Amino acid sequence: MHTASEVFNKWRHAFSVSLESDLTKLIAIKYLSKTNFTVTKATSSTSNYFYCIQRYLFYFSDFKMSGPSTKKLRTSHTDLVKQIEEQRNQTADSVMTFKFNKKRVRILTDSDEVSSESKGIVYWMFRDARVHDNWAMLFAQKIALKNKVPLHVCFCILPKFLDATIRHYKFLLEALEEVEKDCKELNINFHLLHGEPNTAIINFVEKYKMGAVIADFFPLRLPLFWLEDIKKKLPKKIPLCQVDAHNIVPCWVASEKLEYAARTIRNKINSKLDEFLTEFPPVIKHPHTSDQKFDKINWDTALDDVLVDKSVDKITWAKAGYKGGIAELDKFLKIRLRIYDEKRNNPIFNALSNLSPWFHFGMISVQRCILEAKKYKSQYNKSVEAFMEEAIVRRELSDNFCFYNEHYDSLKGAYDWARETLNQHRNDKRDYIYTLNELENGLTHDDLWNAAEIQLVKEGKIHGFLRMYWAKKILEWTETPDDALKWSIYLNDKYSMDGRDPNGYVGCMWSICGVHDQGWRERPVFGKIRYMNYKGCERKFDVQAFVMKYGAKVQLTKDENKRKGKKK
């Protein structure tokens, strides 16, 4: 028999595990000891030591492989906030002395001059809910400083946005309170408006005599419609500009057309990183103060009138806002980055960046995260390269797809070969057919799929590898590919913290419609769409460890659950 400490050390040395500190080791041993964990001859091989440690650590929900929450970690993320602030201050005194790349900006109106009668510049903030490291905010301040007028930031609380729930609205509202605080410190006016932007922004501009409108970039149909409608309704003398503050290489610069796959856009993006992957200048305390009176924001009642599903409540693992995002970035860089390349596709390991909620709401800049990650390249080159591929190439490819393909969420947006093969197999017999309600409640014969659904509902996320499996099984278990795509998007948008996002739409389209993929060996139901199955997952990771963590079960036996899929 071996003690927990002996087992841990054997595993650590056998697999060259580098730990952040002895504290991590002590925590691991504590939990192993807590379970009276011992090793016998039957489990004494090196691989079994690794297997046992891995499973025991994973089972404890209060132990994260990212490390314990300690005072030291909290201090370090505060230090990172200060370090980044200092980097901005060293880059330039302000945006006025910084060489701003005009390719980030699109002037959407004929007018490009601010009227001398203007009483301010307004930044309509929507996709990028942050003050710092925000090219749209910086450009808006540049225009305001140039014209010596006050700067205003407006965010519109929508009564409803696609299938967002109170979970997403609460997370967003917490971040906006931080935005207001940051703006106040910088003498920038923040306004929380209510209603559709194409009405609320126009009313604000006309009431307070704004001289220009700056918008950030969101390539979904509804935000693009709002932008176009604002353009039509604005007085002709008021310029409307759009700044891509979300992508490192602006979407319209990276490519002027719909790209077929990552391989066709990768070099187009990477070849432009030297030009666009730069440090940010600071947003400075604005020297021009407004003499107009504005309504005070009541944060307690801000969500009273929203018409969203209030049964899906907030998550607890992620702290909203810029500082919360920087804290998660800090933990990723110092703890998880080292295993990112090797373990990011293994759901047992907490190896992912976990930054997608902050990326989606624009609470932190992807560009900032890449700048900080590159500092670790000499230590973890492969992990940094892998992170850059995911956060830059794959993410910007998703924006490209939605911007240049208005059917980004339907079979109409799939490639010809994919539509053809799905239609050819549309009437294939399905061994299992589930209703939307059964899927939403994880009532299938597949305990791994149920576990993934539980993770989505409870945590607002599914591990990236399992999200592909999750969506592909919906294709396999629904009557038509149209239903599969519609339902996967609905569930992702309703529960996921990064739903209603180009990444989410492309993820579902890749899984169900083969977007950015190629044809594979033909099989029933899927046709030539890439196939994934349970046994394939078992070969990649410890399926039962994941299933047990989320308490998932096979809800019905195969015979009880089997539907008679009929050919149409």
Q: What are the pLDDT tens digits along the chain (568 aa)?
A: 455 555 555 545 444 444 444 444 444 544 444 444 444 333 334 444 444 455 545 444 333 333 333 334 444 578 999 999 999 999 999 999 999 999 999 999 999 999 999 999 999 999 999 999 999 999 999 999 999 999 999 999 999 999 999 999 999 999 999 999 999 999 999 999 999 999 999 999 999 999 999 999 999 999 999 999 999 999 999 999 999 999 999 999 999 999 999 999 999 999 999 999 999 999 999 999 999 999 999 999 999 999 999 999 999 999 999 999 999 999 999 999 999 999 999 999 999 999 999 999 999 999 999 999 999 999 999 999 999 999 999 999 999 999 999 999 999 999 999 999 999 999 999 999 999 999 999 999 999 999 999 999 999 999 999 999 999 999 999 999 999 999 999 999 999 999 999 999 999 999 999 999 999 999 999 999 999 999 999 999 999 999 999 999 998 644 455 554 444 4
Is 115 among the domain residues?
yes
Q: What is the CATH number of the domain that holds 521?
A: 1.10.579.10
* Contact between 306 and 169 (Cβ < 8 Å): yes
Q: What is the pTM of this model?
A: 0.87
Judge whether 378 lies within some domain: no
Kindly tell me the burial class for residue 216, based on how many C-beta atoms sit within 10 Å of its own C-beta (0-12, 13-18, 19 or more).
buried
298: nearest Cα among 449, 168, 173: 173
| One domain, residues 112 and 231 | yes
Structure tokens given for 545? 């460890």
| Within a domain: 432 | yes
| Domain boundaries, position 139 | 78-247+278-301
The CA-based angle 45-47-49, given to 5 degrees, is 70
Residue 398: how many other CB atoms lie within 10 Å: 24
The helix/strand/coil state of 216 is strand
CATH code for the domain of 240 = 3.40.50.620
- C-beta atoms surrounding 235 within 10 Å: 12
d(CA 156, CA 252): 25
Domain-located, residue 381: no
Q: Is residue 323 assigned to a domain?
A: no
- Picking from 523, 87, 500, 54, the residue whose alpha carbon sits closest to that of residue 278 is 87
Sequence letter at residue 285:
K
Task: For residues 87 and 206, state if they share a domain.
Answer: yes
- State whether residue 523 is helix, strand or coil: strand
Identity of residue 15: F
Residue 228: CB partners within 8 Å, gap ≥ 6? none
Residue identified by tokens 């808006």 is 140
Residue 428 and residue 552 in one domain: yes
CB distance 137 to 235 below 8 Å: no
CB 526 within 8 A of CB 513: no
Instruction: Report yes or no on 372 lying in a domain.
Output: no
Q: What's the number of domains the chain is made of?
A: 2
For Cα atoms 28, 34, 40, give the angle at the middle one, nearest 5 degrees.
85
User: 100 and 226, same structural domain?
Assistant: yes
Number of H-type helices and E-type strands within the chain: 26, 6
Distance separating alpha carbons of residues 303 and 300, to the nearest angstrom: 8
Q: How far apart are CA 359 and CA 129, in angstroms?
A: 10
Q: Which of 301, 316, 342 is the last residue of a domain?
A: 301
In a domain, 500, yes or no: yes
Q: Which of 477, 480, 476, 502 is nearest to 489 (CA)?
A: 502
What is the chain's percent helix, strand, coil content, to nearest 5?
50, 5, 40
User: Is 314 inside a domain boundary?
Assistant: no
